[in-house]
Structure 1
Amino acid sequence: MADNRTMAQMLQAPIEGYEDAIVVPPINANNFELKQPLINLVQSNKFTGRQDPHNHLRFFNKVTSTFRHPEVPNTSIKLLLFPFSLDGEARDWLDKEPPRSILTWDDLVSKFINQYFPPSKTTYYRNEIITFYQKPNEAFNEAWERFKGLLRQCVTMLFRTPPLDTFYNPVIQTIKMPYDSCRVEIS
């Protein structure tokens, strides 16, 4: 098929391909608008790609849960607001995603976490948790806080063993003994 465009038409800048990666479902609500104070609150903790992505999502979910509209799903609000929460490298990442490639909030979270918390990081933290031990001269409460920090870093990990067992089993024997001696047999 022949291209019947003139040379001037062929040299014009394209007008397609400028859609956002995020597709927000149509909102058929009357009087719905995102208020500037909500946008400002989301922008008060921008993610640049260097922070903990899990903390960013927790903060973002907390902020967006404060805003409700009876006719608009919360996930649509999140999809609308999320680009405002990014800056720098993270904003560039979202801009480079293919147009109309993010259709749901779950799609967005999955792509975001895979970008900024790749499987290799998950594997690293999983191994740290599974092989956790109390360091010599480390107080019980310090070990517990360190263990909880590892769990927070790896929130997507599923455990075959309950995390408390993972923490408790390798704790130094001298720490365990007082707790073990408190067990009472019930007959």
Structure 2
Amino acid sequence: MRRGPGRTQWAAITAVALALLFAGGAFTVASAERDEAPRTPATDSADAGFARDMSVHHQQAVEMSFIVRDRTRDESVRRLAYDIANTQANQRGMMLGWLDMWGLPKLQSGVEPMTWMGMGTGGGADGALMPGMATNAQMDALRKASGREAEVLYLKLMTEHHKGGVHMAQGCVQKCAPGVERDLAQGMVDAQQSEILLMADMLRKRGA
């Protein structure tokens, strides 16, 4: 009578099967990790261009907000200015951190702002660096104003600043690779559109 495989043989067969199973699983995990590995954008990509340009755009919003904080005692304007300065300073830090992580320069010489959006001339009106950004003359006027005059000027300048920022963030939503940066851009669109409505109401209350 022919006997089947012994206990030792079954143990060996089981060991081989488990080894093949684990090897296949390890291969699948490794493949998945390669597929999900962070992608490094090119220096002329929408991802890098947005991070650079929005960092500059945000920096001016932070500066304007600190200026008006010292030029008025109105709590609603000071609170709005604090929120904008805090939010945009944090977002700016994130975007500059991404550029560092990608090993890309924070400034790109010889390339106009917003070229990544397909805009031939990155600057806005009256010599502003980008659409929505205040000119040097407007920044000087804000520094010299006080009280209600400073509040109205800040709200008007920041409204235009937000409109330019929304336009740029929408560009990233359309052109940036899926991921945290595009999610951040969509968050900027939502938050700044909401603040535009808030500032319109604040301007109406000031008869502007």
Normalised by the length of structure 2, the TM-score is: 0.24
Of structures 1 and 2, the one scoring higher in RCO (CA 8 A, sep 6+) is 1
The structure where helix makes up a greater share of residues is: 2
